[in-house]
Amino acid sequence: MGSERDLIGSERFCILDRDPAARRQLSTKLIALGAGSDRIFEVPGWGEAVNCLTDETIDVLFADMDTTDGTLGLADLAQTAPQTSILATSGSASVTMAVDAVSAGARDLLIKPIAEGRLADRLKIALPGTDKVATTQFGRIRSVSGRPASSSCKSTANDTAVTIADTASADRADFERFIGRSEAMQTVYKQIEKIAGSNAPAFITGESGTGKELCADALHQRSARSGHPFIAINCSAIPKDLMESEIFGHIRGSFTGAVENRAGAAELADGGTLFLDEIGEMDLALQAKLLRFIQTGAVQRVGDARTRQVDVRIICATHRDPLTDIQAGRFREDLFYRLHVLPIHLPPLRSRRADILNLANNFLATHAKEEGCGFSAFSPEAEEALLSGDWPGNVRQLENTIRQITVMNEGTRVEVSMLPPTMKRTQTHSATARVYETRTPLQDHDSIEPLWLQERRIIEATLSRFQDNIALAAAALEISPSTIYRKRQSWEAKLKNGHRHMAN
Give the 3-state secondary structure of 333-392.
HHHHHHHCCEEEECCCHHHCHHHHHHHHHHHHHHHHHHHCCCCCEECHHHHHHHHHCCCC
Radius of gyration of the chain (CA): 27
Contacts of 300 (CB under 8 A, 6+ apart): 248, 306, 307, 308
Task: Encode 405-416 in three state secondary structure.
Answer: HHHHCCCCEECH
pLDDT over 90, % of the chain: 41
Instruction: Give the rounded distance of the alpha carbon of 309 from its chain centre.
Output: 28
Residues 238 and 197: beta-carbon distance below 8 Å: no
Please report the pLDDT score of residue 78 as a whole number: 87
Question: Residue 363 pLDDT more than 70?
Answer: yes
Of the two residues 240 and 236, the one the predictor is more confident about is 236
What band does 458 get if pLDDT is binned at 50, 70 and 90?
Answer: confident
Question: Residue 74 pLDDT more than 80?
Answer: yes
Residues 404 and 411: beta-carbon distance below 8 Å: no
Question: Residue 7 pLDDT more than 70?
Answer: no
> What CA–CA distance (Å, rounded) separates 193 from 282?
29
Question: Residue 340 pLDDT more than 90?
Answer: yes
User: Where are the strands (E) in 300-378, listed by range?
Assistant: 308-309, 313-318, 342-345, 377-378
Of the two residues 218 and 111, the one the predictor is more confident about is 218
What band does 69 get if pLDDT is binned at 50, 70 and 90?
Answer: confident
Residue 360, φ and ψ in degrees, nearest 5: -60, -45
Residues 272 and 232: beta-carbon distance below 8 Å: no
Question: Residue 401 pLDDT more than 90?
Answer: yes
Contacts of 498 (CB under 8 A, 6+ apart): none
Question: Residue 31 pLDDT more than 90?
Answer: no
Going by their DSSP bridges, the two strands 230-234 and 273-277 should be labelled as parallel
Please report the pLDDT score of residue 440 as a whole number: 40
> What CA–CA distance (Å, rounded) separates 282 from 239?
10
pLDDT tens by residue, 188-203: 999 999 999 999 999 9
Please report the pLDDT score of residue 484 as a whole number: 82
Question: Residue 172 pLDDT more than 70?
Answer: no
pLDDT tens by residue, 479-502: 777 678 778 878 777 776 654 444
What band does 275 get if pLDDT is binned at 50, 70 and 90?
Answer: very high
Burial label, 446 (beta-carbon count in 10 A; 0-12, 13-18, 19+): exposed
What band does 116 get if pLDDT is binned at 50, 70 and 90?
Answer: confident
Helix 356-371 / helix 380-388 crossing angle, nearest 10 deg: 120
Question: Residue 153 pLDDT more than 50?
Answer: no
Contacts of 388 (CB under 8 A, 6+ apart): 425, 426, 427
Most confident of the ranges 49-58, 104-113, 121-130, 342-351: 342-351
Q: Rounded to a whole number, what is the largest CA-CA distance in the chain?
A: 93
Instruction: Give the rounded distance of the alpha carbon of 289 from its chain centre.
Output: 27
Residue 251: closest CA among 309, 307, 297: 307
The three-point CA angle 136-195-326 to 5° equals: 140
Residue type, position 412, single letter: T
Neighbouring-strand partners of residue 87: 62, 108
pLDDT tens by residue, 293-318: 999 999 999 999 899 999 999 999 99
What band does 447 get if pLDDT is binned at 50, 70 and 90?
Answer: low
Going by their DSSP bridges, the two strands 108-111 and 85-90 should be labelled as parallel
Please report the pLDDT score of residue 112 as a whole number: 78
Please report the pLDDT score of residue 128 as a whole number: 58
> What CA–CA distance (Å, rounded) separates 136 from 93?
11
Contacts of 170 (CB under 8 A, 6+ apart): 139, 181
> What CA–CA distance (Å, rounded) separates 100 from 108?
10
Please report the pLDDT score of residue 210 as a whole number: 95
Mean pLDDT of the chain: 80
The length of the chain, given as a count of residues? 504
Please report the pLDDT score of residue 333 as a whole number: 94
Please report the pLDDT score of residue 448 as a whole number: 66
What band does 145 get if pLDDT is binned at 50, 70 and 90?
Answer: very low
Question: Residue 371 pLDDT more than 80?
Answer: yes
> What CA–CA distance (Å, rounded) separates 325 from 321?
7
pTM for the model? 0.54
> What CA–CA distance (Å, rounded) separates 301 from 248?
5
Going by their DSSP bridges, the two strands 202-205 and 262-263 should be labelled as unpaired
- DSSP H or E run through 468: none
Question: Residue 149 pLDDT more than 60?
Answer: no
What band does 364 get if pLDDT is binned at 50, 70 and 90?
Answer: very high
Please report the pLDDT score of residue 6 as a whole number: 52
Determine the straight-line distance between the first and last CA of the chain, rounded to whole angstroms: 64
Residue type, position 197, single letter: G
Q: Can you tell me the mean pLDDT for 261-285?
A: 93
CB atoms within 10 A of CB 131: 9
Instruction: Give the rounded distance of the alpha carbon of 445 from its chain centre.
Output: 49
Please report the pLDDT score of residue 132 as a whole number: 39
Of the two residues 271 and 454, the one the predictor is more confident about is 271
Q: Can you tell me the mean pLDDT for 370-388?
A: 91
What band does 157 get if pLDDT is binned at 50, 70 and 90?
Answer: very low
Going by their DSSP bridges, the two strands 308-309 and 298-299 should be labelled as antiparallel
Please report the pLDDT score of residue 473 as a whole number: 76
